[in-house]
Structure 1
Amino acid sequence: MTGTPEHPALDRAHALALDWLASLDERRVPPSATPEQVAASLGADLPQGPTAPEDVVDLLARACEPGLTAMPSGRFFGFVIGGTHPAALAADWLVSAWDQNAGLRSLTPAHTAVEEITEAWLLDLLGLPGESAVGFVTGGTMANFTCLAAGRDEVLRRAGWDVASRGLVGSPGVRVVVGAERHDTVDLALRYLGLGLPEPVAVDDQGRLDPAALRSALEDHDGRPLVVVLQAGNVHSGAFDPFAEAIAVAHEHGAWVHVDGAFGLFAGASRAHRHLVDGVAAADSWATDAHKTLNVPYDCGLAIVRSRPALRAAMGMHGDYLIHDEAGEPFDKVPEISRRGRAFTVWAVLRALGRDGVADLVDGLCDRAAELARGIGAIEGAEVLNDVDFTQVCAAFGDDERTRTVVAGVLADGTAWMSGSRWHDRAVLRVSVSNWSTSGTDVERSLAALRAVAAG
């Protein structure tokens, strides 16, 4: 067996991938097999001898297909998960075939060029400062981690403490202030960074941070360096913090301001919803996840930091065996040295859509969310609990028991995936519209299933 690709396996994988995509319109959205059933089909024992690659691909597809959730379907409304745009999917196949380690500028000039172009396009589309650096990381959690690492190190540096050489033990510490309804991954990133639990301040009924509460909290200051975390897109309501006022308050007190915009930061590329991020460009860092609103494949978060030196100080490294370029290295902006060519897929979807297409994508997701909210609100006994300003809808169907029954019924029906959550101490049906392919027909089919379950 040679080290070259086995074309029968690639041809088979291509055919199976097209079969999967063709099945999405009619298949049930939830999976039909348990992990144990999939494992039994795969077989638990490692074979003694080799298996032809095309047979491996066949076995994988046959065994796993019943255990797949139709997440790329236009009727998947769980979590905040986009589908994959065709241009991005095709580019991702090339990423795996090209097999480029995208850490070094001179080693992978193709990816370096694409990354630099894509960085400029993203900053322009999102209305962020053109001098900012964009690191392509694994997802929203690591985007928050990367930005907050830069913020942590910078505010401690201003206080005369160098984290890179001295670590955190004995430092003045960092006080992190957040809205009470921030996403849990913010706390996770802070935990990874050794900063512990943040200090929450009050929010309104949609989860928007209260600038007066922020001011009050910051005026009661113990002298530690400050980081303030704001939010573009509450995971339940879709609400956005009042950036202009909150950032001004935070900067008055010398804070580094980070914005967790996992899905909402792309409102900046919209025509109808750009006002939701008014003032956001005054922050110091921003995190988003391209596999959400932008609809590229997984493993593609975006860590955006205004100060390139601050990001490089937090993330950069040197190894004598590496080939260094005076212009800087892609790995200076991310926590990894080895990484796949993530910028290829982002470039592909931006190039395919263009400026107007990205705006239409964002506005279309918002329109579908509004249609779903109107349809849910018309169901007897249903109540939409949030202001549907962006792509999220939360609803209840009476008491918690009844709402949980409706959620379970929708999932059992299989037409659509609408999952449950808890918000404002109530059980809710939570709908997130994130897929580029969600159509009016998908909305009506999903609403019809929900109406039938709620009437049962």
Structure 2
Amino acid sequence: MSDRDEFGPVLDEAVLLAGRWLEGVRDGPIPPTADVDEVKDALGRELPDRGPDPVTVLRSLARGAEPGLMRIHSPRFHGWVMGGAQPVALGADWLTSAWDQNNGLRSVTPGVAGAEELAAAWLVDLLGLPSGSEVGFVTGATLANVTGMLAGRDEVLRRAGWDAAADGLAGGPRVRVLVGAERHGSVDSASAIAGLGHGRAVEVDDQGRMRVDALRAALDDGEGPALVVLQAGNIHSGAFDPFAEAVEVAHAAGAWVHVDGAFGLWAAAAPGLRSLMAGAEQADSWATDAHKTLNVPYDCGIVAVADPAALHRTMAQHAAYLASSDTVADPSDRVPELSRRARGVPVYATLAQLGRAGVADLVQQLADAATVIADGIRGIPGGEILNEVVYTQVCAAFGDDERTRAIGAALLADGTALASPSTWHGRAVLRFSVSNWLTDAAEAARTVAAVERAVAAVTVS
């Protein structure tokens, strides 16, 4: 049997099944229709002694799982902060899986290492980061935060005369962590993984932006190594911290500054939005997610560190059996993993296809669509926008909390558009996060129409 005979039928079937699913991207209903137990029943709960042929397994998988799938890639899916998958990114992701390269060592897998290194250099340029910044590709924004904060932790301890890599944290100086009162939960997770606890919350303004005076006071209220985490894109308001002033204050206190920019860091790539990121390039490390705004398939987080040596000291691992480079950093010198898929390859493909202008247009399109949604909701009786819509986030309320939640439930039942129910500043809200490459002004208008139907349904009832 030839290799084509072995793999061909399975891959051909996968293309057919994927194509059938993707046909519903624009107009298919968004919510799943089956729960986890129903999916498990459909897939078959018992492990067989021997299973059927691969094509049969794929067909059974699609038939059993599809009712439980959320159409996250719909242009009217505004839940959480999740993008879709651009065609070129999806194709490159399939190739990455077929190539099955472990991109830990550049001399072993130069094909994918080269693509990732190009993507990294382009990202540094597009995002306005300091020349020479080191970029690593991790699973998502949470691990990107972990990686940047670990590098920061070890560096501020090194400056204080303590080698965390050799001696651990016990017995060393305490590292103070200062975070915004409205930081994302992944920052708390990252700080806990780094062994630093959840840190001290610094007061923010009404849009969730860190107050520089409060940061200065918090830094003055203590001594020793410090790590400050700033935010590019508040999860509710989309607001950006005042980077220039906050970084200056933090650096004056000797602190390492990390920027959590899971979706907001991409604002630097769009001329019309770049001012939101002014001063962020002076930080020490940054985290973002290629799935959220660039629309690369899961999983693809990105961490960047201005000082490559600081990142390498924390992350690099070497052994006699590894073909490690003595002169150039390997992929494994930048991230916690030695074994990983070449997740930066779809980033390369997407950037190569879009180009500088295409990335700028994409980011601006998302922000413009958010404005269309906000303006449309303001025109609905009882509709209220609670945030300053500066980027891609819209927080809406419709009177009291009970009514807002009821409208959210009606919107979900309609199935045309989806928003995340949440609570912000003590009020129930529907949060519309615009993250999908297919979401333009026309699709945003369809979202507004779906909200109007939901409001009408609740009003009638």
Q: Which residue does 2:158 correspond to in 1?
A: 157
Q: Which residue does 1:385 correspond to in 2?
A: 386
Q: How does 1:75-224 map to 2 (within 5 A)?
A: 75-221=76-222, 223-224=223-224
Aligned counterparts of 2:148 and 2:425: Cα–Cα separation in 1? 29
Q: Which residue does 1:286 correspond to in 2?
A: 286
Aligned counterparts of 2:224 and 2:405: Cα–Cα separation in 1? 44
DSSP 3-state at the match of 1:178: strand
Aligned counterparts of 1:347 and 1:339: Cα–Cα separation in 2? 17
Maintained 8 Å contact 1:6/1:53: no
Aligned counterparts of 2:413 and 2:137: Cα–Cα separation in 1? 37
Aligned counterparts of 1:400 and 1:122: Cα–Cα separation in 2? 42
Q: How does 1:249-260 map to 2 (within 5 A)?
A: 249-260=249-260
Unaligned runs of 5+ residues in structure 2 are none
Confirm or deny that 1:72 pairs with 2:77: no
Q: Which residue does 2:267 correspond to in 1?
A: 267
Aligned counterparts of 1:79 and 1:419: Cα–Cα separation in 2? 6
Aligned counterparts of 1:92 and 1:382: Cα–Cα separation in 2? 41
Aligned counterparts of 2:335 and 2:171: Cα–Cα separation in 1? 26
Aligned counterparts of 1:410 and 1:70: Cα–Cα separation in 2? 15
Confirm or deny that 1:248 pairs with 2:248: yes
Aligned counterparts of 1:417 and 1:135: Cα–Cα separation in 2? 32
Aligned counterparts of 1:45 and 1:220: Cα–Cα separation in 2? 59
- 1:250: Cα distance to partner? 0.4
Q: What amino acid sits opposite 1:58 in the alignment?
A: R
Maintained 8 Å contact 1:132/1:306: yes
Maintained 8 Å contact 2:232/2:262: yes
- 1:2: Cα distance to partner? 8.6
| TM-score under structure 1 length normalisation | 0.98
Q: Which residue does 2:352 correspond to in 1?
A: 351
Maintained 8 Å contact 1:201/1:214: yes
DSSP 3-state at the match of 1:313: helix
Aligned counterparts of 2:26 and 2:130: Cα–Cα separation in 1? 41
DSSP 3-state at the match of 1:431: strand
Confirm or deny that 1:325 pairs with 2:325: yes
DSSP 3-state at the match of 1:195: coil
- 1:36: Cα distance to partner? 1.2
DSSP 3-state at the match of 1:288: strand
Aligned counterparts of 2:263 and 2:273: Cα–Cα separation in 1? 13
DSSP 3-state at the match of 1:342: coil
Q: Which residue does 1:45 correspond to in 2?
A: 46
Q: Deviations over 1:153-174 (max 9, x none)?
A: 0000111110111001111110
DSSP 3-state at the match of 1:303: strand
Maintained 8 Å contact 1:134/1:302: yes
Maintained 8 Å contact 2:365/2:440: no
Q: Deviations over 1:388-416 (max 9, x none)?
A: 00000001111111111111111111111
Q: Which residue does 2:399 correspond to in 1?
A: 398
Unaligned runs of 5+ residues in structure 1 are none
DSSP 3-state at the match of 1:229: strand
Q: Which residue does 2:316 correspond to in 1?
A: 316
DSSP 3-state at the match of 2:78: coil
DSSP 3-state at the match of 2:356: helix
Aligned counterparts of 2:250 and 2:137: Cα–Cα separation in 1? 27
Aligned length: 455
Aligned counterparts of 2:444 and 2:196: Cα–Cα separation in 1? 43
Aligned counterparts of 1:169 and 1:2: Cα–Cα separation in 2? 58
- 1:25: Cα distance to partner? 2.1
Maintained 8 Å contact 1:179/1:230: yes
Maintained 8 Å contact 2:366/2:440: no
- 1:113: Cα distance to partner? 1.0
Q: Deviations over 1:35-89 (max 9, x none)?
A: 1111111111111113100001100011111111111110100000011111100
Aligned counterparts of 1:150 and 1:169: Cα–Cα separation in 2? 17
Q: Which residue does 1:334 correspond to in 2?
A: 335
Maintained 8 Å contact 2:368/2:441: no
- 1:249: Cα distance to partner? 0.4
Aligned counterparts of 1:117 and 1:313: Cα–Cα separation in 2? 23
Question: Which of structure 1's runs of 4+ aligned residues deviate more than 6 A?
Answer: 1-4
Maintained 8 Å contact 1:411/1:419: no
Q: Which moved more, 1:23-32 or 1:422-431?
A: 23-32
Aligned counterparts of 1:153 and 1:78: Cα–Cα separation in 2? 36
Q: Which residue does 2:443 correspond to in 1?
A: 442
- 1:245: Cα distance to partner? 0.3
DSSP 3-state at the match of 1:23: coil
DSSP 3-state at the match of 1:395: strand
Q: What amino acid sits opposite 1:356 in the alignment?
A: A
DSSP 3-state at the match of 1:418: strand
- 1:3: Cα distance to partner? 8.0
- 1:316: Cα distance to partner? 0.6
